[in-house]
Amino acid sequence: MDTANTLISWYRKNKRDLPWRETDDPYFIWISEIILQQTRVDQGTAYYQRFIIKFPSVKKLAAAKESDVLKLWQGLGYYSRARNMHHAAKEIVNNHQGVFPKTYDEIRSLKGIGDYTAAAISSFAYHLKYPVVDGNVYRFLSRYFGIKTPIQSTAAKKEFTEIAFELMDKHSPHEFNQAIMEFGAIQCKPSSPDCNTCSLKDSCFAFGNNAVTDFPVKTKKLSVRKRYFYYLVVRDKQSVYLQQRKERDIWQNLYEFPLIETSKKITDSKLLEGTEWKSIFNTGEVVVRRISEEKKHVLSHQVLHAKFIELTLANADIVIPKNWEKVRTKKVKQYAVPRLIDKYLEEETEIYS
């Protein structure tokens, strides 16, 4: 059986109608690939459409303010993707005269572009013979060939890439790459794959050995870090304070309310009597209006437990920290904020809109 032709034949009959498949423009393909990292296709499609309307060319993206890029990205998470993409756009304008690079090595050298994304752009835009190996491809190949190498390992990357290259239809590498990725996404799914209708089941190791759920093999999960955020929503009738996250941590360069972070969960009274609270409000009095229920926000390897402490300043004696920015409540939604903050703003929509 010619596996490549079977995959391509299946793809032509079953592929989803996705906007980035209608173009060979490397810029648009790049935008789609970055958005779809760690993002579901149904969620990513709307972001892709908005992004190419707002920034229809690499030059437009390079000329944009980072805050505007992050605002458009808001809700997708993994904000380093957006920052790196913005940086890479400037590289293309400054080092490549605004023309997207045409070789794998040049594409790979751009900020935020790894082996997978470089291969995807090279293949889909320029039809170069580079296998595109994503999670869907790892899953299909591991099941089909019975590969027991843990997919997070360094050895797996080389092994799976070599196998994908051997399988690849060298006359139509771009279509083969689309086909094998799509096959993994909607036929050879992570859970409950439709093996009975699979055109490759007769030669599939996992199906033949009743071992579909055993693949792909994964190493132990990383431990999840718990963090406790106590947001200080210092507000009057018309304004509220925000601060920008500058550290190399989650949500770098996004805005949020000032906060006190603790390594363990503490009671409300302990928070209000703590040294950090007193160091912030040591020159005057504040009135705590409300303390929200705890809100849980799950990231890839972190779980955030957040509370919003709504308060007003009782007098003008308090010295506001220099990194706090006073913002009109009606303009808060113009700032790029993490999804956790955005959800809070949605709940308090009467105040912030």
For the stretch 325-336, pLDDT in tens is 999 999 999 999
Longest dimension (CA), the chain: 80
- Asked, for residue 74, whether it belongs to a domain, the answer is yes
Catalytically annotated residue among 33, 182, 256, 310: 33
Q: What is the pLDDT of residue 348?
A: 92
- Asked, for residue 180, whether it belongs to a domain, the answer is yes
Same domain, yes or no: 298 and 192: no
- Tens of pLDDT along the chain (353 residues) come to 599 999 999 999 999 999 999 999 999 999 999 999 989 999 999 999 999 999 999 999 999 999 999 999 999 999 999 999 999 999 999 999 999 999 999 999 999 999 999 999 999 999 999 999 999 999 999 999 999 999 999 999 999 999 999 999 999 999 999 999 999 999 999 999 989 999 999 999 999 999 999 999 998 777 899 999 999 999 988 999 999 999 989 999 999 999 999 999 999 999 999 999 999 988 778 999 999 999 999 998 899 999 999 999 987 778 889 999 999 999 999 999 999 999 999 999 888 88
* Interatomic CA distance for residues 152 and 307, integer angstroms: 35
* Interatomic CA distance for residues 70 and 253, integer angstroms: 8
* Interatomic CA distance for residues 231 and 269, integer angstroms: 15
Same domain, yes or no: 80 and 166: yes
Length of the chain in terms of residues written = 353
Q: What is the pLDDT of residue 1?
A: 57
Mark out the alpha helices in 243-295 (DSSP H runs): 268-273, 275-280
Domain total of the chain:
2
The rounded percent of the chain whose pLDDT value lies above 90 is: 90
Same domain, yes or no: 193 and 246: no
Q: 342-348: long-range contacts at Cβ-Cβ below 8 A with a sequence spacing of 24 or more? A: 342/74, 342/75, 343/295, 344/231, 344/292, 344/295, 344/308
Same domain, yes or no: 175 and 198: yes
Mark out the alpha helices in the chain (DSSP H runs): 3-14, 26-36, 41-54, 58-63, 66-73, 80-95, 104-108, 115-126, 135-145, 154-167, 173-186, 205-208, 268-273, 275-280, 339-347, 349-352
pTM metric for this prediction: 0.89
Same domain, yes or no: 198 and 264: no
Residues 168 and 131: beta-carbon distance below 8 Å: yes
Tokens 């890439």 correspond to 161
Same domain, yes or no: 239 and 146: no
Same domain, yes or no: 141 and 289: no
Same domain, yes or no: 109 and 235: no
Residues 217 and 142: beta-carbon distance below 8 Å: yes
Question: Structural domain of residue 102, as residue ranges?
Answer: 3-214
Tell me which of 183, 214, 245 is where a domain ends.
214
Q: What is the pLDDT of residue 35?
A: 97
Same domain, yes or no: 171 and 248: no
Decide if 347 is catalytic.
Answer: no
Tell me which of 158, 188, 214 is where a domain ends.
214
- Asked, for residue 138, whether it belongs to a domain, the answer is yes
230, 244, 229: which is closest to 327 by C-alpha?
244
Residues 260 and 271: beta-carbon distance below 8 Å: yes
Sheet holding 325-328, edge to edge: 255-256, 239-244, 325-328
Alpha carbon dihedral 41, 46, 52, 54, in 10-degree steps, equals -150
Same domain, yes or no: 185 and 81: yes
82, 47, 215: which is closest to 136 by C-alpha?
215
- Asked, for residue 220, whether it belongs to a domain, the answer is no
Bridge-based pairing of strands 302-313 and 286-291 is: antiparallel
Cα Rg of the chain, angstroms: 25
| 3-state secondary structure at position 306 | strand
- Asked, for residue 120, whether it belongs to a domain, the answer is yes
- CATH value at residue 346: 3.90.79.10
The total of other beta-carbon atoms located within 10 Å of residue 273's CB is 11
- CATH value at residue 57: 1.10.340.30
pLDDT, tens digit, for every residue of 212-222?
999 999 987 77
At 60, list the tokens. 């437009």
Same domain, yes or no: 275 and 127: no
Q: Backbone phi, then psi, for 200, in 5-degree steps?
A: -115, 10
* Interatomic CA distance for residues 196 and 288, integer angstroms: 61
Tell me which of 168, 183, 214 is where a domain ends.
214
Kindly tell me the burial class for residue 318, based on how many C-beta atoms sit within 10 Å of its own C-beta (0-12, 13-18, 19 or more).
Answer: middle
Same domain, yes or no: 185 and 232: no
Bridge-based pairing of strands 225-234 and 302-313 is: parallel
At 213, list the tokens. 């759920």
Q: What is the pLDDT of residue 315?
A: 79
